[in-house]
Amino acid sequence: MPSSSSLLALSLVLLFFVSRSFSYANSRFTHDRANLPQSQAQKHIKSLNLFPKVQVNINNDAGFVPGEIVEKKFSFFAESGSSVEDLGHHAGYYSLPHSKAARMFYFFFESRKSKDDPVVIWLTGGPGCGSELALFYENGPFHIANNLSLTWNPYGWDQASNILFVDQPTGTGFSYSSSTSDFRHDETGVSNDLYDFLQEFFKAHPEFVKNDFYITGESYAGHYIPALASRVNQGNKKKEGIHISLKGFAIGNGLTNPAIQYPAYTDFALENKIISKANYDKISKSIPGCEQAIKTCETQGGKSCEIAFGTCVGIFNRILSIVGDINYYDIRKKCVGQLCYDFQNVEKLLNLKKVKSALGVRKDLEFVSCSSTVYDAMLQDWMRNLEVGIPTLLEDGINMLVYAGDKDFICNWLGNSRWVHAMEWSGKEAFGKSPTVKFEVDGAKAGSLNSYGPLSFLKVYDAGHMVPMDQPKVALQMLKSWMGGKLTGIKRDN
């Protein structure tokens, strides 16, 4: 089994570049964007025990063919006697058609139960962190042991779905290009690439076209997920290609509506006794400036969004300057010196020559766990409101689940609950009046649930930023119940 330090590793990684933003917030008005504090970024990467040799893979690709999928079956368990065919594990590259020479890497694991199970795509946040982080530490089929061997994850989401893990945007994980012009800067570019990939994926796997399809992810994927859901829905309506049977999308501890979520930091911190009332009053004075900066970002875009980023992260930064070594991905935990997490095994495993060969990855590519280059490219996207497209999806009958671990600070349940409740749609009033019920797993209280029509909000107890890591059994049951239309709770006595 994985070590406790390894199992704790992932929660920081998916938004680890937020750490970078602390120094950025303090230097935004005195530094040119070309002079961002790279040394601080490297310091925070090292605090995760991560040592990527490169920040992004830029490689020449003379054989680039736009719109082509090259995929192979593989087995990490060949020595166990299971055949490749029995396992149904695939890895591949998709050549993005709207690029100069970008290749998107992905894993596809067929369901351990039935090929008729839904197809689920998982999007890791960052922006710029590889999907392999979730694959090996959260909801994928495997966990990594200290000797780099793999053990089955009994709560992997391949127990209930045929699941895709994608390294995106370009430059993330094993994805690469020969040109920096292929890096994406907004959700239009991100969602178009993913939509193109899904079209070609279903052409390559026509047996799954009939299956229900769900989009999932967490953290910065609170931006990616609504954007992709809207893109798929639009493509279906316009009959652009293969009809993708989109049934729902789920956001876990995500960043979706910054204008509502950033002001929630002070309230969450006070309620959880992280800061005093006096500090709360002082820091709260910064909230109006943040809210105004976000409004300017929405109307003007460009550099104003970078200014909003620096302004609003200042709120978070001031809280952390008070609380010190608290782990803001799980307020129950603290960091010890510089080392907050140990996530080195994923880099060690994926950079092994035999592993890259098995996956069809070029031997000259390095696994980029989290890319500061991709992060920088998406900087003007950070403060955008991605909730705006969700009401249309709900009105079209597409289900949405927002779930959040109650011990996470960075994308806390309070801010997520607030934007969900504030969202304007035809069911807003009814959802607001819906009873808060207990969500139980095997007879034990696992969370609290509000739901109405296609919308559900679940607060997961005793979980931080990474719900599938902290509460794997609960997360798998949540997925099964939600996809099965049975995500219900038990009414409270009071």
Mean pLDDT (whole number) for 407-425: 97
Between 344 and 212, residue with greater pLDDT: 212
Give 68-80 pLDDT, tens digit per residue. Answer: 999 999 887 654 4
Helices and strands in the chain: count of H runs, count of E runs: 21, 15
Single-letter residue type at 392: T
Binning the chain into helix, strand and coil, the percentages to the nearest 5 are: 40, 20, 40
Q: Say if residue 255's pLDDT is above 50.
A: yes
Which residue out of 376, 465, 470, 481 is catalytically annotated?
Answer: 465
The answer to whether 73 and 84 are in contact (CB under 8 A) is yes
Determine the Cα–Cα distance for residues 334 and 341; give it in Å rounded to an integer. 10
Q: Say if residue 20's pLDDT is above 70.
A: no
How high is the pLDDT of residue 3? 40
Q: Say if residue 452's pLDDT is above 70.
A: yes
Tell me which of 140-144, 330-334, 387-391 is least confident: 330-334
Single-letter residue type at 406: D
Give 190-248 pLDDT, tens digit per residue. Answer: 999 999 999 999 999 999 999 999 999 999 999 999 999 999 999 999 999 999 999 99
CA distances (Å), 258 to each of 86, 137, 313, 419, in order? Answer: 44, 27, 10, 9
Determine the Cα–Cα distance for residues 212 and 200; give it in Å rounded to an integer. 17
Determine the Cα–Cα distance for residues 328 and 411; give it in Å rounded to an integer. 9
Between 440 and 12, residue with greater pLDDT: 440
The answer to whether 251 and 455 are in contact (CB under 8 A) is no
How high is the pLDDT of residue 56? 73
How high is the pLDDT of residue 329? 86
**CATH superfamily of the 1-494 domain:** Alpha/Beta hydrolase fold, catalytic domain (3.40.50.1820)
How high is the pLDDT of residue 23? 37
How high is the pLDDT of residue 78? 52
Q: Say if residue 7's pLDDT is above 60.
A: no
Find residue 109's DSSP bridge partners.
89, 163
How high is the pLDDT of residue 156? 97
The answer to whether 40 and 20 are in contact (CB under 8 A) is yes
Which residue out of 408, 448, 470, 481 is catalytically annotated?
Answer: 408
Single-letter residue type at 351: N
Give catalytic status of residue 44 as yes or no.
no
Give catalytic status of residue 364 as yes or no.
no
Between 82 and 461, residue with greater pLDDT: 461
Start-to-end Cα distance in the chain: 42
In this structure, the number of other CB atoms found within 10 A of the CB of residue 416 comes to 27
Give 47-63 pLDDT, tens digit per residue. Answer: 444 455 566 777 777 78
Give 83-131 pLDDT, tens digit per residue. Answer: 444 568 999 999 999 999 999 999 999 999 999 999 999 999 989 989 9
**pLDDT band at residue 382 using 50, 70 and 90 as cut-offs:** very high
How high is the pLDDT of residue 301? 95
How high is the pLDDT of residue 327? 83
How high is the pLDDT of residue 227? 98
Mean pLDDT (whole number) for 370-396: 94
Tell me which of 15-24, 165-174, 189-198, 308-317 is least confident: 15-24
Q: Say if residue 348's pLDDT is above 50.
A: yes
Which residue out of 6, 161, 219, 230 is catalytically annotated?
Answer: 219
How high is the pLDDT of residue 272? 97
Please state whether beta strands 455-460 and 444-452 pair in parallel, antiparallel, or not at all (unpaired). Answer: antiparallel
Tell me which of 81-90, 170-179, 277-286, 416-425 is least confident: 81-90
Q: Say if residue 385's pLDDT is above 80.
A: yes
Per-chain mean pLDDT for the chain: 87
Preceding amide of 127 cis, omega within 30? yes
Determine the Cα–Cα distance for residues 445 and 466; give it in Å rounded to an integer. 18
Give 132-186 pLDDT, tens digit per residue. Answer: 999 999 999 999 988 898 999 999 999 999 999 999 999 999 999 999 899 999 9
Give catalytic status of residue 161 as yes or no.
no
Domain parsing of the chain, residue ranges: 1-494
